[in-house]
Amino acid sequence: MPVKNVVEAPLIFPYTPHPIVETSSVPLDGLDDQSLTGHDIMPILKILQPGDEILLENFLLQHINTSMFLRSNWREAGLVDQGARFQGTYVAAIANTSIVAVAAHYWNGMLVVQAPMYLNEVVQSVVAQSNRAIQGIAGPAAQVEITKEVLRLVNRPTQLNESEILFSLQLSNLKLPTALASGEVECRLPYPEEFELLSQWCVAYNIETLGQSDTPDLWSTCRQEIKARQASARHWVLIVEDTPIAYTAFNACLPDIVQIGGVWTPPVLRGRGYAKCVVAGSLLAARSHGVERAILFTNQANQAAQTAYRGIGFHPTGEEFGLVIFENH
């Protein structure tokens, strides 16, 4: 029952932006009074730097369910961009000293948006400033569709192009599956000797769920990803008789909320409730460390996954999360 995870190797997509790029905090051009939507001053575009964290967080907290990647990544890597894991270039539109829109282009090529206004401006500017290829786009579903148009990527072939249902769970309401509660199955951090199996699962997940090809680069990326998740204790395996049978990870982590991604059960073991057991087990561990809520998004057509997640207490938020991953040319 896969849940999407978008931490993958970058794909190569050259992009030539429209010539409207601001290299510092300057007014946006061409906006009439109506476009200011109630603000008293002309918004500016700003490349966010260390010191802007509170300004960014105050804005993202207004859109908490669809901002997990943005919030987790800046906390993990700061507001610098040297191409390291979780780092990215952030461009924000600011009006009356407050951020009203932001787009970030990350180390792995993913462009993540949270821009209820000025989407065109922040998207074009961040892509030009980052000077990196576009692997994919993520954010509120309607904004992702507009972003494809803004960047002239509507006709670009995709590996994945979905509008997914957002689910949320207060961990105080977590329902433990019987097999987990009784000890029939165990959820724990992986052991190093299991890394190669988990790398195989990661490759299979990327091929089945994200449409990737079985290549040496994918294997290398998956091995690195498993090691990185282990170092930060962001993944779990479900165990029966000392054998791993299912896997889950957090693709975004905050002190009070986590986002689930990369859920995987081998095809021959599906239909036995293992996915909901491993997810519930990981959330039980998170709750013991003070985490209060969990978010996930899954395909609208995947009724089996939706049933499983509802079974441990998740409910739809009424929002849709857009996720696009482009083919590698």
pLDDT tens profile 194-239: 999 999 999 999 999 888 889 999 999 999 999 999 999 999 999 9
pLDDT at 40 over 70: no
Looking at residue 13, its pLDDT comes to: 23
State percent of the chain over pLDDT 90.
Answer: 81
Structural domains in the chain plus CATH codes: 26-163 (3.40.630), 166-320 (3.40.630.30)
Q: Which residue has the higher pLDDT, 16 or 218?
A: 218
Looking at residue 42, its pLDDT comes to: 72
d(CA 121, CA 30): 11
What b-and-e string marks burial along 286-325, b requiring 16 or more CB atoms within 10 Å of the CB?
bbeeebebbbbbbbeebeebbebbeebbbeebebbbbbbb
Average pLDDT, the chain: 88
Region of poorest pLDDT, from 39-48, 80-89, 178-187, 253-262: 39-48
Residues in Cβ contact with 160 at an 8 Å cutoff, skipping those fewer than 6 apart? 4, 136, 209, 210, 211, 323, 324, 325
pLDDT tens profile 128-179: 999 999 999 999 999 999 999 999 999 999 999 999 999 999 999 999 999 9
Looking at residue 122, its pLDDT comes to: 97
pLDDT tens profile 306-329: 999 999 999 999 999 999 999 876
